[in-house]
């Protein structure tokens, strides 16, 4: 029998909802059928904590006296966007000062969360209504009006395994790849991963309430590079990077336990983001989807050293074992995301829902279907 959001939320309110993490329901699926799980379980919680470069924060500084229309803005010496309104900016996670490449936008965001002072310096041309041309002052999360985390592309639905067949070290966003396939890295939480547990995004859409960076947040749109037509395996799971989500939340209420800056040697800066999404078990189909196990989740092995050639496929049970086989060679594996944090997020979200402190929201707009990706074509500009 199908359930509704209202019925599940009423159970949450009364404290009678049955809530399991995705790992727990995956284990349960070894002994129970999807039909039995649908009857027994109301909500399944997911979690992920990994580097998500397409992240950032909107900040409103407030107006000085006399006022300035900020056109060039630096925070702790890092250039950030001056293309918004007079005293607004967007801090991109990967923004950096080339002279100090190991500190950038993600670090500023983490510093703001932790209540640290940030040096603001801004310049403008001066206008009749904004006569000031320069300001240098200190800000923190208590002095700014708004600090809003807005990430255009997060929580990739699956991702490639990276390795390197060349004779040289390769420095990538998937970590440092040793020569001649001496290691391979991956970055998905497997059976805990949010979009893998609802691969067609039946319950994830505009308005979905989520755990984001230690507080509540929302899905605002499909993420950029949203690809809904990737190849899927026999269990309906895309075998490479596919769907994504755009998310929003109040940065002032977040914690650096779940939003943390990182620097990848000779690559650059990124932001580790903690996301947890509750999946309501509305019917047997969703029960079947959340029952997915690591050995059933395949992904593609890609040679990041040699033109992104595809070298084969593997699954997350093999990746978690610490070793996979590529072209007959045993290769050590290591994650560049944190499974421990993903488990922590899923467990925390489970506790909040079971305790009646987190209601589910039904999406007001579904995710798009039949989408693909366009490549950037190099064309000669017209004279």
User: How crowded is residue 249: how many other Cβ atoms within 10 Å of its Cβ?
Assistant: 24
- CA angle (354, 206, 288) in 5-degree steps: 55
Are 117 and 138 contacting, i.e. CB atoms less than 8 angstroms apart? yes
Q: How far apart are CA 226 and CA 49, in angstroms?
A: 19
Cα–Cα distance for residue pair 327/356, rounded to 1 Å? 50
Cis before 66? omega within 30 = yes
Report how far apart, in Å, the C-alpha atoms of 174 and of each of 53, 171, 187, 208, 266 are: 12, 8, 8, 29, 12
Q: Which residues of 104-127 are buried (b: 16+ CB within 10 A; e: fewer)?
A: bbbbbbbbbbeeeebebebbbeee
Which of these, 320, 273, 342, lies nearest to 48 by C-alpha position? 342
Neighbouring CB atoms inside 10 A of 336's CB total 20
Task: Give the separation between CA 315 and CA 111, rounded to whole angstroms.
Answer: 37
Q: Give the residue among 104, 59, 101 at the shortest CA–CA distance from 84.
A: 59
DSSP bridge pairs for 324: 331
Question: Which of the residues are catalytic?
Answer: 129
Q: Which tokens in the block code for residue 86?
A: 């007079």
How far is the C-alpha of 68 from the C-alpha of 78, rounded, in Å? 19
């Amino acid at each position: 029998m199908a359930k509704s959001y209202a019925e599940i939320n009423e159970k949450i309110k009364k404290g009678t909802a049955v809530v399991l993490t995705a790992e727990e329901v995956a284990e349960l699926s070894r002994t129970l059928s999807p039909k039995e799980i649908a009857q027994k379980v109301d909500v399944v919680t997911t979690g992920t904590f990994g580097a998500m470069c397409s992240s950032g924060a909107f900040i409103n500084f407030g107006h000085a006296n006399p006022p300035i229309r900020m056109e060039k803005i630096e925070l702790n010496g890092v250039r950030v966007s001056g293309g918004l309104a007079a005293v607004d900016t967007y801090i991109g996670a990967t923004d950096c000062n080339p002279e100090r490449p190991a500190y950038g936008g993600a670090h500023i965001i983490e510093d703001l969360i932790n209540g640290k002072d940030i040096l603001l310096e801004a310049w403008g041309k001066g206008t009749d209504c904004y006569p000031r041309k320069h300001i240098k002052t200190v800000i923190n999360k208590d002095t700014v009006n708004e600090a809003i985390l807005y990430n255009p592309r997060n929580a990739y639905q699956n991702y490639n395994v990276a390795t390197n067949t060349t004779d040289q070290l390769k420095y990538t966003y998937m970590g440092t790849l040793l020569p001649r396939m001496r290691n391979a890295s991956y970055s998905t939480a497997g059976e805990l991963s949010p979009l893998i547990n609802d691969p067609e995004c039946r319950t994830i859409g505009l308005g979905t309430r989520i755990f984001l960076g230690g507080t509540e947040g929302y899905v605002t749109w499909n993420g950029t590079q949203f690809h809904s037509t990737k190849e899927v395996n026999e269990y309906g799971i895309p075998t490479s990077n596919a769907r994504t989500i755009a998310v929003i939340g109040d940065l002032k209420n977040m914690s650096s336990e779940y939003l943390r800056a990182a620097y990848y040697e000779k690559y650059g800066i990124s932001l580790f983001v903690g996301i947890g999404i509750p999946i309501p078990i509305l019917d047997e189909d969703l029960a079947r989807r959340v029952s997915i196990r690591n050995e059933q989740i395949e992904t593609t092995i890609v040679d990041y050293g040699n033109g992104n050639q595809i070298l084969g496929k593997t699954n997350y049970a093999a990746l978690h074992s610490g070793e996979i086989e590529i072209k007959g060679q045993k290769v050590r594996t290591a994650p560049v995301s944190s499974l421990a944090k993903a488990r922590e997020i899923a467990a925390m979200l489970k506790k909040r829902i079971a305790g009646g402190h987190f209601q589910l929201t039904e999406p007001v707009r579904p995710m798009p279907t039949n989408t693909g990706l366009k490549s950037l074509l190099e064309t000669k500009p017209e004279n």
